[in-house]
């Protein structure tokens, strides 16, 4: 029996890319590949790329350059680029870096087996189409290996919002939602393999409108259907747009037992002027009133957000409006970035904010966010949370998991195993985690 071929995948960017990488591995598993954690002993290397951040393509080319020596030592080694940079750059990747054998966009990775066969025949393989067939159905026969207690599940892809700073509509395409019955089947399969918590993924996940038995189903409807899945204990979703946070979804946060009290709801700026120029289609005030309604439905919910500072034409007053909004919301988590131009997007052609000014604003914003995060985390001391344990900690006898609020929690010398859901009394708050005792 021949030795299995080894596949090394490096994943950049969001949780959707993590999910996609899992599916790529499954697609190539049927071709005799098993995953390896080292590029050095791989027969195929795949870079699953993200195009959101600054100089994303150049970072990919730099990474590819590191494989030149490896390719020279192993001429039979196949190297591929997948994901959003692949979609944006296309055959330019092969032109600039001839060692690349395969380029596949995020909507075409179900075709990897055919593309891999083509490379083994000595040809280059390129596919950045937006095919009509359902890539998820093409790959529905997952290997039945055991899984960890948490998993991602993509339910929606693409975005129709066309924010002025974002390339997603160009790299992932228009909004497409998977049929509800297929998502339920996949969730059931994951649970059978050991998963207890599922995070539903989408570029704009709360715009979900997949086909259901009685017409299109909203995200709230899908969550209620998943709530019926025996063995599934926790449901989360990310990433959402404020404009698609409907009444039913808000109500679900207050009434659906399995839906966790954590919500990532990006606002990007506290300035109405900047929000308009970002094409966000909401105001700071409408966002704050939405937060109020969500907290009325679930008072203990932990809010998370995204912010961009230094957006073209942002003034000191605009930035202060962002600080004011953060001060009012008091996020438990938030992710902040300095604006970077994405070629082909409307904002790239506008007057840019001085880099030093943007850097200083980012530091001030992150300091404020960190202060709120720490206050909220420290406030958990003395409370009881329910922790889903996921892995061993760094110390002997230590186990680590996540609370309902997504806080990392560690316990020591407790009789708990991976996948256990246990109540924990919090007794300490560190820089990035909570410590406690199992009750």
Name the H helices within 74-128. 84-89, 92-96, 112-120
112 in Cβ contact with 27 (< 8 Å):
yes
88 in Cβ contact with 171 (< 8 Å):
yes
For 362-424, the DSSP string reads HHHHHHHHHHHHHHHHHTTTT-EEEEEEEEE-SSTTEEEEE-TT--EEEEES----TT-EEEE
For 280-306, the DSSP string reads ----HHHHHHHHHHHHHH-TTPEEEEE
Count how many residues are written for the chain. Answer: 439
d(CA 121, CA 19): 29
* Angle formed at CA 289 by CA 311 and CA 223, multiple of 5 degrees: 95
CB atoms within 10 A of CB 351: 6
Token digits of residue 31? 């071709």
d(CA 165, CA 341): 7
- Residue 239: asked if its preceding bond is cis (omega within 30°), the reply is yes
The answer to whether 163 is annotated as binding is: yes
Task: Give whole-number Cα distances, 138 to 111, 113, 188, 216, in Å.
Answer: 9, 11, 18, 22
The answer to whether 256 is annotated as binding is: no
Task: With CA atoms as reference, report the closest residue to 182 among 158, 150, 151, 217.
Answer: 217
Token digits of residue 265? 């709801």
Which residues make up each annotated binding site for [4Fe-4S] cluster?
14, 50, 84, 159, 163, 166
Binding-site residue numbers are 14, 50, 84, 159, 163, 166
């Amino acid at each position: 029996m021949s030795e299995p071929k080894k596949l090394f995948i490096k994943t950049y960017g969001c949780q959707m890319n993590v999910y996609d990488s899992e599916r790529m591995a499954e697609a190539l598993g049927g071709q005799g590949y098993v995953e390896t954690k080292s590029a050095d002993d791989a027969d195929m290397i795949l870079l699953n790329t993200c195009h959101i951040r600054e100089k994303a393509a150049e970072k990919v080319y730099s990474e590819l350059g590191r494989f030149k020596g490896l390719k020279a030592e192993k001429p039979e080694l196949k190297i591929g680029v997948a994901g959003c940079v692949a979609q944006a750059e296309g055959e330019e990747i092969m032109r600039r870096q001839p060692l690349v054998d395969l380029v596949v966009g995020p909507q075409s990775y179900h075709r990897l087996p055919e593309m891999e066969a083509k490379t083994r025949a000595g040809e280059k393989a390129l596919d950045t189409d937006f095919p009509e067939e359902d890539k998820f159905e093409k790959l529905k026969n997952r290997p039945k290996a055991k899984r960890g207690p948490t998993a991602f599940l993509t339910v929606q892809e693409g975005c129709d919002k066309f924010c002025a700073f974002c390339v997603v509509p160009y790299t992932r395409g228009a909004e497409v939602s998977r049929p509800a019955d297929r998502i339920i089947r996949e969730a059931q399969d994951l649970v059978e393999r050991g998963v207890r918590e599922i995070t539903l993924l989408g570029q704009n996940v709360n715009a979900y409108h997949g086909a259901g038995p009685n017409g299109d189903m909203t995200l709230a409807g899908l969550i209620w259907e998943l709530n019926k899945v025996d063995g599934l204990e926790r449901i989360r979703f990310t990433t959402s747009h404020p404009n698609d946070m409907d009444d039913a979804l808000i109500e679900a946060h207050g009434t659906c037992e399995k839906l966790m009290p954590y919500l990532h709801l990006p606002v990007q700026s506290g300035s109405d002027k900047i929000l308009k120029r970002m094409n966000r289609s909401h105001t700071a005030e409408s966002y704050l009133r939405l937060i109020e309604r969500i907290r009325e439905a679930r008072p203990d919910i932990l809010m998370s957000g995204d912010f961009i500072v230094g957006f073209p034409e942002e003034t000191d007053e605009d930035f202060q409006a962002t600080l004011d909004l953060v001060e009012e919301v008091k996020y438990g988590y938030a992710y902040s970035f300095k604006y970077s131009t994405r070629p082909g997007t409307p904002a790239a052609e506008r007057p840019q904010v001085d880099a030093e000014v943007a850097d200083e604003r980012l530091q001030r914003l992150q300091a404020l966010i960190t202060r709120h995060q720490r206050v909220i985390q420290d406030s958990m001391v003395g409370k009881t949370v329910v922790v889903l344990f996921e892995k061993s900690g760094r110390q002997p006898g230590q186990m680590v998991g996540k609370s309902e609020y997504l806080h990392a929690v560690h316990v020591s010398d407790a009789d708990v195993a991976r996948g256990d859901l246990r109540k924990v009394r919090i007794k300490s708050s560190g820089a990035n985690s909570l410590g406690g005792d199992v009750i």
